[in-house]
Amino acid sequence: MNLLFASKYYASYQSTEDRCFYLDFGHKMVKLSFCQLLSLRYKAKQLSSHDNLEYMLNHADVTLLTFCDKEHVVLLDTLQVLDFAELIQGTFAMMELNSVLAI
């Protein structure tokens, strides 16, 4: 497994043998396909939107992130939501950079 990106709380890896991605949440390692990773990018954008963050700060301290057809559930606080959004953004940036360098 090759490390793609590491944020403060999380890390993402790419496995060329399995042709999949792994997200390390510290207490849980989750195996993802590329389609599932794309879905997580959409959820990360929603969770880190101004409206959602304002709602979290004013009404709820945590949010549930479900993914992989509700197979995995992760409880995130506001700082972890921001870090998760950074992880997903950094992961896709590194994949794009790796594809440019491979040419």
Backbone angles phi, psi at 96, to 5 degrees: -65, -40
Domain layout of the chain by residue ranges: 2-102
Q: Which two tokens stand for residue 82?
A: 């921001």
- For 31, 54, 63, 84, 102, the CA distances from 97, given in Å and listed in that order, are 22, 33, 31, 20, 9
Average pLDDT over residues 67-88: 89
Q: What is the mean pLDDT of the chain?
A: 89
Residues 2-28 pLDDT 10s: 899 999 999 999 998 888 999 999 888
99: which residues sit within 8 A by CB, 6+ positions away? none
